[in-house]
Amino acid sequence: MKTLIIVDPQNDFMPGGSLSVPNGDEIIPIINELQEKFDLVIASQDWHPAGHASFASSHKGKSEFETIELNGIEQVMWPEHCVQNTEGAEFHKDLKTAKIEAIFRKGTSLEIDSYSAFYDNRHLKSTGLSGYLKEKNAEDLYFCGLAAEICVHFTAIDAIKEGFKATIIEDATRALNAADFGKAKAELKGLGGKVITSSTIEN
C-alpha cells in the first residue's frame, strides 16, 4: 500500500513560528495535492511538554542552537516550539486533513527529544507507528513535511530500519540547513532510500 507520511506540518515550523523553516509554508499546497495520490495518509505532530529538555530555556546559561550532551546523546538546544495545546503546535491552517487517517505524536517525553515519528532519539519509546503501518500492510512509504534534514530524514531512516521502503518527496519538504540536507539525502540513498519530486508520482 502506497502511504504518505506528513511530518510535523506545524505552525512553529512555518515562517513567523518560533523555529521557522525557511519557506516552510510553500509545501502545504503541494502536500494537499499529493494526498489524493495515496491509499493511506498519516501525519506526525511534535508534541512537547512545557519545559522540555531540548529547549535552550530549560538549561541555564545555554544558547539556542548550541549543542550539548543530554542523557548520553548529542542534543541541539532548540527554541521553545510545539508545546502541547498551543497554537504553535497546531497544523498549518491550510493543510487539508480529511484524508489523514491517524496522527502520531512525538517528543512527549520530558527528557528525550524525538526527531523520528517512529521512536525517540534514544530508541527507548516507540510511537506505535511501525506497528500501525504493518497492520495496514503499508510497505512503500513516502515522506514530506518539516524539517527536511531533521525530522523528515530521521523518520525515513527509521522506516528503512523497520523494513519499509522509504522515499522523500523533495519539493514537499524544506530544510533548516541546505548543506545538512545534502548529507542527509546521501545517507538515505546509501541505505537504499530514494529522493524524488512530486511530479513523478502517479495517481
Q: What residues act catalytically?
A: 8, 106, 151
Give the number of other Cβ atoms within 10 Å of residue 161's Cβ.
Answer: 15
- Element spanning 76, H or E: strand 73-76
DSSP string spanning 170-183? Answer: EEEEE-S-HHHHHH
Which parts of 74-175 fold into alpha helices (H)?
129-135, 153-161
For the record, the C-alpha cell of 180 comes out as 545538512
Burial bucket for residue 89 (CB in 10 Å: 0-12, 13-18, 19+): buried
Non-local (6+) Cβ contacts of 26 within 8 A are 174
For the record, the C-alpha cell of 179 comes out as 548543506
Specify whether the CB–CB gap between 168 and 153 falls below 8 A: yes
C-alpha distances out from residue 104 to 11, 189, 194, 201, Å: 17, 25, 23, 24
